[in-house]
Amino acid sequence: MDSSGDVSLLGHLDPSQITCLNESDQHDLKSLLTSGSTTSPTFLLSDTDEQLLLNIPFNQTVRIRTISLKTSNVSQAPCEIKLLINRPSLAFDDVEGAEEGQFAQVFTLTEEQVSEGQRIQLRFVKFQTVNSLHIFVASNQGGEEETRIDSLDIFGTVPMLTAARDLGGLKNQE
């Protein structure tokens, strides 16, 4: 946990629902996220071109404050990424032609951010009730054929359950 109270949300993923479009068979997203270590030798690699579409579902509603992407080969590191939330299913057709306003947030990452795995601050107000996070990697730093991600982490909080709140004291005001 950091000073803001944020924790890694990887323990709140729904592994059976994790998918990634255009991932290599040998280097897939599920292995990267469920390896139990953010520094393991596992990595995500794109297959036929630089684009990736990561679909990351959680097993409960979370609040996301930052994400971290790290790549050892900077020329293969993600450059332009676009984030969406709470979509039941997405395909490349849904994101390639979409306008910027349809995304929760759009970034152009620097080489420093991805080589050091720096935390990328999100617009917290847009990521308050997240059931699934979708990351579209549109391009990489060096215009390479493949995009590589060595580690990915998502930081935030798990809100208290609504059912746990005491609503018994509320009275109807006239």
Given pLDDT bands bounded at 50, 70 and 90, which one contains residue 167?
Answer: very low
Residues 6+ apart with CB under 8 A from 57: 13, 14, 17, 18, 131, 132
Q: CA–CA separation, 173 vs 54, rounded Å? A: 46
For residue 164, name the pLDDT band (cuts at 50, 70, 90): very low
Report if residue 61 sits inside a domain.
Answer: yes
Place of tokens 């979409």: 98
| Predicted local confidence at residue 162, as pLDDT | 39
- CB-CB contact of 53 with 95 (8 Å): yes
Give the pLDDT band (50/70/90) at residue 3.
low
Domain around 131: 7-152
Q: How far is CA 37 from the centre of its chain?
A: 16
Q: Residue 64's pLDDT is what?
A: 97
Q: Minimum mean pLDDT among 6-20, 60-74, 90-104: which range?
A: 90-104
Answer whether residue 53 is part of any domain.
Answer: yes
Asked if residue 73 belongs to a domain, the reply is yes
Is residue 169 one of the residues assigned to a domain?
Answer: no
- Domain of residue 12, CATH code: 2.60.120.470
| Structural domains of the chain, count | 1
In a domain, 161, yes or no: no
What is d(CA 148, CA 6) in angstroms, rounded to the nearest whole number? 26
